Structure 1
Amino acid sequence: MKSPTIAFFGIGSVTVTILHALYQNGIPFTILCKDKTRMESLKTPIRFLGPNKKTTVLNLANHLQMIDLVTLPFDFIFLGCKNQSLENYITLTNHVLKPDGKWIFIQNGLPEGHFLSLKDKIMGGVVGWNTQVLSDGTYFQSNVGSLILGQTNGKKPDPRWHQFLEPWIPVVTTEHLLGFRWHKLAINAIINGLAASKQSSLGELFLNLKSRNEAIAILSEIKTLMKKLNVKEEVVPGSFPIQKLGDGENALPKWIRHLVLIILGLKYFKIRTSMVQDLDHKRKTEINFINGEVIQIAKSLGVSVPYNEKVVSEVLTLENNF
């Protein structure tokens, strides 16, 4: 069977990690550029440091193409942008996606829910790793993490994604994308949202008793929403069930929950997650699509989520002070 054609529109930490796996496996891919300046910048090789501590130099010059010069459309297009730019990225790539092709959303939050009219043309990708850009420009993937791929129509994606990305990225294909999405939303609400509100690394966050209590309260609010929506949690490999960390049914003893967060803080002590880095560089965050998404859903259900509201208020205040 002929391999599908794969493209990327928007290059950042997550997309670089995915194209690194394709690059290593010799799978063809195209990077779409909307302006020549960006195209020229990507001709400079990218250094990628994986969790195996080995550095790979990615020469992407032969993978670049101006989007307005594309002659053959693609089966899959990874959209590497923030949630707030998704609609624009869809518009810009609509003419280069095959009629039966799919956009792959790798954003945080619940992005597929904002494009229900396009559900047959969307795949969701839940990312289980952290990649950040070091001071010398190297992309550093700090942990081995899976890519969970699911279709919004409930069908399993093409199983060939395993051979395209593994062993560099373990792949999970699922019929239960929403369960993984909610799990990752909850995790991001603390490691991104709460950490951003305090502008702290994960070590600073989870080695602080008050912050751990706030994290558990945030997870408890999300756990309540999931129960009301009848969403069954699907745990991202290597992560920990929200159902056991949040208060209420199935919760572990509180001292164990604190211990789990302490271990997480020690393991990733220096990591400043993406939203924290956005504030470090005085960029707008995706807070409205993480904790803000929780707030909007809670309002529709008549549920109070004061801890998530506090996080959003504090992050927006920091943004407004830029």
Structure 2
Amino acid sequence: MNESQSPTYLIYGAGAIGSVLGGFLHKINRSVTFAGRGSHLLAIKEQGLRITGIWGEHLVPPEEIDILSDPLNREKRYSTILLSVKSKDTETAAREAAELLAEDGIMVSIQNGLGNWETIARLVGEKRTVGARVIFGAEIPVPGLAKVTVNADDVLLGEPFCPVNRALLQTLKDDLRLSGIPARAVSKEEIWSALWGKVLYNCSLNPLGAILEVPYGRLGENEETRMIIRGIIEEIFLVCQALKVPLPYKGADDYYRFLLETQLPPTRDHRASMLQDILAKRKTEIEALNGAISRLARENEIPTPYNDLLTLLIKFKEKRESQGPGPQG
């Protein structure tokens, strides 16, 4: 990026998180284009984008909303693409978005789970791949409205493989901070550690909350569910040891205490995203979370019965909801 040029942002996957990021970047007069589908994108195109919640009230009027109308039109290239799609859609979305990325641009994974960074790097190159750890929560109560519900920590940005366009990475970090979204750039080791830290959190709570259909707080209050959570965590630490993944915790017991005492309280009323996906008849991200742990464990001959079982139960629940209720006895 030339020093005199401003970045051009493409939000590829304008769901809840993508809408918040795009709306806040627009607030500081950055060039932002939204790409997505469904009723939410149609609503923001016709009525504008409203953002509410813990970071205040904001409105992007419809006349200022720029929608990517034709993904196949490759005349315009974007310096920074924020890929904010479900892990199951990474391959398709990254392949499409790659055609819209400037030669010296960066594609930033704003996603949960394992394997996304490697997929993006395979499609756009390691020198254009940026990893992010996003740990604020958002939802879409009605189409056209994105609500920020919780923020557990800063957005972290890092280079998972090798140096990228540092000017663009620095500008993204500065733009997020200027817009009101806390953000930091971290080292390669720190961004991988942060990714696995979020995987620990998601694997411990998300599928269990979806299966039992209770908010996260209930999981921490119950002795039986705490035992399951502990088993999940112990298995993930065994996988991390085998893969030599650096984690900012002394061990499974240390993270278990951190989860219950620090991470759970502010998100006690949060509903699992997997449950929201299942109720909406969408596929969940189980394969990029507990399913990924099970696959990596098998490759390293590590037994992971807790993660295996949760993966199977979520898959059953996905199929049951998509097929409708069975015959009544």
TM-score category (smaller protein): 0.7 to 0.9
Q: CA deviation at 1:135?
A: 5.6
Pair 1:125-2:132 in alignment: yes
Q: Once the two structures are superposed, what CA deviation does each residue of 1:247-272 show, in whole Å capped at 9, x if it has no partner?
A: 4xxx38x8xx2x85266544323211
Aligned counterpart, 2:186: 174
TM-score calculated relative to the size of structure 1: 0.85
Aligned to 2:57: 55
Aligned match of 2:150: 143
Match of 1:202 in 2: 216
- The correspondence for 1:84, drawn from 88, 105, 109, is 88
Alignment of 1:19-98 (within 5 A): 19-32=22-35, 40-43=42-45, 44-52=47-55, 54-62=56-64, 63-66=66-69, 67-98=71-102
Greater mean alpha carbon deviation, residues 24-33 or residues 285-294: 24-33
Cα distance, 1:39 vs structure 2:
5.9
Per the TM alignment, residue 296 of structure 1 is displaced from its structure 2 partner at its CA by: 0.8
Tell me which of 161, 165, 170 is aligned to 1:159.
170
CA contact (8 A) 2:108 2:130 kept: yes
Closer/same/farther in 2, CA of residues 273 and 133 from structure 1, 3 Å limit = farther
When the two chains are superposed, the root-mean-square deviation of aligned CA atoms in Å is 2.6
SS for the counterpart of 1:77 is: strand
Structure 2 residue ranges without an equivalent (≥5): 322-329
User: How many positions carry a matched residue from both structures?
Assistant: 305
Partner residue in 1 for 2:10? 7
Partners of 2:121 and 2:129 within 8 A in 1: no
Distance 1:226 1:269 in 2: 27
Question: Structure 1 CA distance, aligned partners of 2:262 and 2:84?
Answer: 31
Are the aligned partners of 1:25 and 1:165 in contact in 2 as well (CA < 8 Å)? Answer: no
Q: 1:24 to 1:50 in 2, by over 3 A?
A: farther
Output the TM-score relative to the length of structure 2. 0.83
Structure 1 residues 19 and 135, CA gap change in structure 2 (3 angstroms): closer
Say if 2:104 is the partner of 1:100: yes
Task: Provide the rounded CA distance (Å) in 1 between the counterparts of 2:268 and 2:18.
Answer: 24
Identical pairs, percent: 22
Q: 1:61 to 1:303 in 2, by over 3 A?
A: farther
Structure 1 residues 93 and 137: alpha-carbon distance in aligned structure 2, compared to 1, 3 A threshold? closer
